Amino acid sequence: MQIRKLGNSSLEVSALGLGCMRMSFGDSPIGDKQAMIAFLHQAVERGITFFDTAEVYGPFTNEELVGEALEPFRGQVVIATKFGFKHGDGTGPSPSTGLDSRPEQIKRVAEASLKRLRVEAIDLFYQHRVDPNVPIEDVAGAVKDLIQAGKVKHFGLSEAGANTIRRAHAVQPVTALQSEYSMWWRSPEAEILPTCEELGIGFVPFSPLGRGYLTGKIDETATFDKSDVRSTSPRFTPEALKANKVVIDLITRIGEHKNATPAQIALAWLLAQQPWIVPIPGSRKLERLDENLGAVNISLTAEDLREIDSALAQMSIQGDRYAAQMNQLTQK
């Protein structure tokens, strides 16, 4: 497994991480606990050292799963978790649960996450979403206190805008920014990636396979359980799925020349953008994990990348990535 460094920090992780949310939270059916523990062990055996969870996934159950599964590998793996949401009915991050990044809440969450993750220090502690009611300087200051106390090692932000990143970084250096980024969501290229490069911040794309669409296995006939976030996403209506097939056609064609699947091309494209980008595709099946890991060994030439970028520039991706209420929680 190739190793990458997140920005100018000392934090080194596997070139591909693993998003753990869907192992115990999200679309039905969720994974069997013992099967997911075994799966996480297999991920470590394959060289993955970077695992992503959050307090709100459940809430709490995902951190507990990750903590139990990775306890035998303490010191060998990096676990990232997140703070920033209140907890209401347990349905997850939505405006109904509310945001809460008050310093006292951040410190309370850290103490609880340490116990669930079974670690002495949180490797990477992200603010899950920017809280408009709490100055980002106060958020960064609270995490700085936790770092000085030895309870957190690195500070991260998720879905934050460029100005917010700069303000936070001035108080406590930001190690990584986690935001959605893929072939069909390239918004970070305008301001976010240049800001990260300038400040020496690593970038961690979530949903690097477009919530499964870029695997090429979803078409306009797909249906989604009401527990699945895609069931309310404008990007996953039959009309949008059909219109956006041009992206799948592109990466399928590139893959045929590289003896690679569409998913592998989509991940290889992300890895080729910058050496400090570390995607975290989510998976619950070993065959999908192995497929994703194959992307690390795919080399896209400068000509390949120009061809892809030229083709993508001519496409107009249909549909917002979130329903309106979730869009309110991004890029502030």
Report the alpha-carbon distance of residue 60 to residue 90 in Å, rounded. Answer: 9
| 3-class SS of residue 19 | strand
Active site residue 213: no
Residue among 201, 192, 145, 210 nearest 173 (CA): 201
Residue in the block written with tokens 């599964």: 69
The string of DSSP letters for 196-240 reads HHHHT-EEEEESTTGGGGGGT---TT----TTSGGGG-GGGSHHH
First to last CA, the chain: 35
Residues 6+ apart with CB under 8 A from 151: 110, 111, 114, 121, 122
Instruction: Catalytic residue, from 57, 126, 181, 213: name it.
Output: 57
Q: Please list the active-site residues.
A: 57
